[in-house]
Amino acid sequence: MEDVEQIRLQFLLPGSPWDWKQELLEIMERGPLGEPTHWGEAEGLRNPYQRKELIRFGDGARRGEDSPVPVLLRTVQPRYGVTWNMSDSVPGWLCIDSRMRLRPGDPRLFFETAQQLATVLPVEYGLVDIQFQGAASELLLKGGTLQHPRGYVRWGPDTLFARTFFGPRLARLMGETSLWGCGAVAHKLDNGVIMLDLLQEPWKQGAVLLKQRQQQVLSQLEHTGIFSRSEAGWTKPGERWVPPNGGPKQG
């Protein structure tokens, strides 16, 4: 089994994740990854983790004019960082990334955490990206940033990841049956979110297998017309893409 270099999670929501802070913090405190050890008002700042202090800061920040990006940190294995937006911009976003070296059993914990979050949050779209040590750049499921929130609203989702979450609105837009027949491993969570794994237990698969399956499955799902596409070097929305909240498509 190839060594995993980094795991990254991202969720897009109909508002700031702070609107669901109790559910979010409960999973981060009691879930598979273990309780945060620190929090900060921004990246680089560290206070010993106390839920009450974080909530006091977060609630106060939402009433102010600034829109900070707080961070949760765990500085013992498995190490991670959590960031989210506090503003009311749509969609809201939540990111979790592994920090430093991962132990062999750690990748599964990140995938389990993603599933737990997707079960309690009103997910529009979500993903788990996995990167392997020494893998060539062409084997990355997506290079650079993950799914840009504003780009998602304008053009639709970019691609598929090792694990991709489709919220009920998005699944209806695609046609839910397309997700069951695309060649990936699909599960429907209790809140209607569909979790799509490129392969069974994707954290155990290698970079080559995941990239091959990504291309195979994406070729099936591109027919739904919701994925963004490139034309003459310009990004265009999928033919059937409808942004969250019914906003206008951007050509």
pLDDT(69) > 70: yes
Query: Domain for residue 31, yes or no?
Result: yes
Asked whether residue 240 carries a pLDDT value surpassing 80, the answer given is yes
Confidence of residue 19 (pLDDT cuts 50, 70, 90): very high
pLDDT (mean) for 128-141: 92
Contact between 33 and 113 under an 8 Å Cβ cutoff? The reply is yes
pLDDT at 61 over 60: yes
Instruction: Write down the H helix ranges in the chain.
Output: 21-30, 51-63, 106-120, 149-155, 168-174, 176-180, 207-221
Structural domain contains residue 203: yes
Range of the domain at 178: 4-244
* pLDDT tens digits for range 187-227: 999 999 999 999 999 999 999 999 999 999 999 999 999 99
**How many angstroms separate the first and last alpha carbons of the chain?**
43
Residue 145 has pLDDT above 60, yes or no: yes
Q: Is residue 104 part of a domain?
A: yes
Confidence of residue 46 (pLDDT cuts 50, 70, 90): confident
Whether pLDDT at 247 is above 70: no
Question: Could you tell me if residue 100 is inside a domain?
Answer: yes
Q: Which residue has the higher pLDDT, 66 or 172?
A: 172
The mean pLDDT of 161-186, rounded to a whole number, is 96
Query: Does residue 162 surpass a pLDDT of 90?
Result: yes
Q: Report the alpha-carbon distance of residue 13 to residue 9 in Å, rounded.
A: 13
Is the per-residue pLDDT at 4 higher than 70?
yes
Phi and psi torsions of 56, nearest 5°: -60, -45
3-state SS class at 178: helix
| The total number of structural domains that make up the chain | 1
Angle at 130 between CA 124 and CA 133, to 5 degrees: 165
Spatial distance between the Cα atoms of 199 and 68, rounded to a whole number of angstroms: 37
Rg (alpha carbons) of the chain, rounded to whole number: 18
| Residue 250 or residue 132, greater confidence | 132
Answer whether residue 223 is part of any domain: yes
What band does 90 get if pLDDT is binned at 50, 70 and 90? Answer: confident
Q: What is the average pLDDT across 148-177? A: 96
Residue 249 has pLDDT above 50, yes or no: no
Looking at residue 250, its pLDDT comes to 43
Q: Do the Cβ atoms of 124 and 14 come closer than 8 Å? A: yes
Measured CA distances, 87 to 27, 69, 115, 127, 229 (Å): 22, 9, 25, 21, 29
* Average confidence score pLDDT of the chain: 92
pLDDT value at position 78?
96
Q: Is 81 within the bounds of a domain? A: yes
66 pLDDT exceeds 80?
no
User: What does the alpha-carbon distance between residue 46 and residue 44 come to, in Å, rounded to a whole number?
Assistant: 7
Please give the pLDDT value at position 62: 77
Mention every residue, 6+ apart, whose C-beta is less than 8 A from residue 235.
151, 154, 155, 228, 229
Question: Smallest Cα–Cα separation from 15: which of 66, 62, 56?
Answer: 62
Peptide bond into 36 cis (omega under 30): no
251 pLDDT band (50/70/90 cuts)?
A: very low
Residue 6 and residue 20: Cα distance in Å, rounded? 26
Give the torsion sign (CA, 160, 163, 165, 166): positive
